[in-house]
Copies of this chain bind each other. A is one copy, B any other.
Amino acid sequence: MDFAYSPKVQELRERVTAFMDAYVYPAEAVFERQVAEGDRWQPTAIMEELKAKARAEGLWNLFLPESELGAGLSNLEYAPLAEIMGRSLLGPEPFNCSAPDTGNMEVLVRYGSEAHKQRWLEPLLRGEIRSAFAMTEPDVASSDATNMAARAERDGDEWVINGRKWWTSGACDPRCKILIFMGLSNPDGPRHQQHSMILVPADTPGVKIVRPLPVFGYDDAPHGHAEVLFDNVRVPYENVLLGEGRGFEIAQGRLGPGRIHHCMRSIGMAERALELMCKRSVARTAFGRPLARLGGNIDKIADSRMEIDMARLLTLKAAYMMDTAGNKVAKSEIAQIKVVAPNVALRVIDRAIQIHGGAGVSGDFPLAYMYAMQRTLRLADGPDEVHRAAIGKYEIGKYVPRELLRSSRHEA
């Protein structure tokens, strides 16, 4: 469990940091302006420029563990890079490392057929197209993923897909060419073998982007979080990934590395918020003293440092366990970071907002946006409550026979 950076990782950290400093942070305001000025739902020129630059520098597809297609980094090695990228809301995309593409590419690498890879994985790896993941549904409590009710019914050589999904992030972007749909295909199977994942090209007739969903007033354009209606959508039977009823099997594999990424980005954001908080606390004066020396402000900075450092160590531990023992053994740790990282980030960002006064809730600093984004992460991929229940159950399982605990994850 060696958390020191290897020379390779250290070198990449320096290069990614330099890239962020030189290009990404300065691009934040440009990006915002380009989105505001044109059609919000078209890709921005600045992002394409950043991607070209990063690719030219070889800072490209750094995720993708266990694959020749990526940079050959383990989760533990990639984690500190994800943290740096996460410091900017623009961060991961220039490096072709942004969600949900990373997770989708991993799914294609592991579970896609050769045809799937050629058709979708390759342009994704080249950053030419983007992708989306259609799982959550507006009409059921998605905390229990087995509630998913959108249907995929086989009709000869085709799937016929019907249902409504939302929080299909990225689907509003015209570059999004492929959706991974997950839905009920085998309603008579065992509880976790009723759903399949199926590739649905974005331009298939019947795929309707109903609306972008705002997050605390932010539309996150041009990426966006779509409500998508699947209305008699027909795709070839072979578009199913891995096999019928194996959606949950894929989901388990998909979510592990993605959680490391998400959590490290949360930590990166928290670090940036802490940096802003420290700077503001010495830049402004009230009652004759810098804010840092008033009341409990210094304690808030200290608490933030402690919480961030602990969250990072826990995430690195989870990454190490995934690398060495696999997702299954690391199950509790992965659930733990899923709870810890966004909650820590939210607390740190909230303190930073407070010390910035009115500026903190405005658009003049990235804090309010970061807050909104992190708040969704207490819900996305399962709410805190589901993960806490899993952690607690795992813990109790050390002392009682597994059978005594009920089968469902949450209702511990």
Q: Residues of A with Cβ closer than 8 Å to B?
A: 1-4, 136, 138, 140-144, 147, 166-167, 213-219, 274-275, 278-279, 281-282, 284-306, 309-311, 313-314, 317, 332-333, 336, 339-340, 353-354, 357-363, 368-369, 371-372, 375-376, 378-380, 383-385, 387-393, 395-396, 398-400, 404-406, 408-412
Contact = CB atoms under 8 A, between A and B. Distances in A.
Protomer copies: 4
B293 A296 contact: no
Given A282-B400, A287-B410, A309-B317, A375 B361 contact: yes
A395 B276 CA distance: 12
A289 B411 contact: yes
Contacts of A314: 306, 309-310, 313
A391 B286 CA distance: 18
B293 A406 contact: yes
Contacts of A274: 395
A395 B302 contact: yes
B378 A354 contact: yes
Given A306-B336, A313-B317, A301 B375 contact: no
Contacts of A390: 302
A302 B388 contact: yes
B143 A295 contact: no
Given A167-B358, A301-B391, 11 more contacts: A141-B286, A216-B216, A217-B217, A274-B395, A282-B400, A288-B411, A295-B388, A298-B388, A301-B395, A354-B379, A354-B384
A302 B217 contact: no
Counting chain B CB atoms within 10 Å of each CB, which of A144, A275, A294, A336 scores highest?
A294
Nearest to A358: B167
Counting chain B CB atoms within 10 Å of each CB, which of A216, A357, A385 scores highest?
A216
A391 B302 contact: yes
A314 to B, nearest CB: 5
A293 to B, nearest CB: 6
Contacts of A138: 358-359
B296 A362 contact: no
Contact of A371 (B213, B216, B359): B216
A357 B383 contact: yes
Nearest to A393: B298
Contact of A213 (B140, B363, B383, B395): B363
A410 B296 contact: no
B298 A412 contact: yes
B396 A278 contact: yes
A385 B336 contact: no
A274 B369 CA distance: 25
A226 to B, nearest CB: 12
B299 A295 contact: yes
Contacts of A296: 295-296, 299, 385
Contacts of A303: 388
Given A141-B285, A313-B310, A411-B289, A298 B295 contact: yes
A399 B368 CA distance: 23
B306 A340 contact: yes
Contact of A215 (B305, B362, B376): B362
Contacts of A279: 399
Contacts of A217: 214-219, 368-369, 372
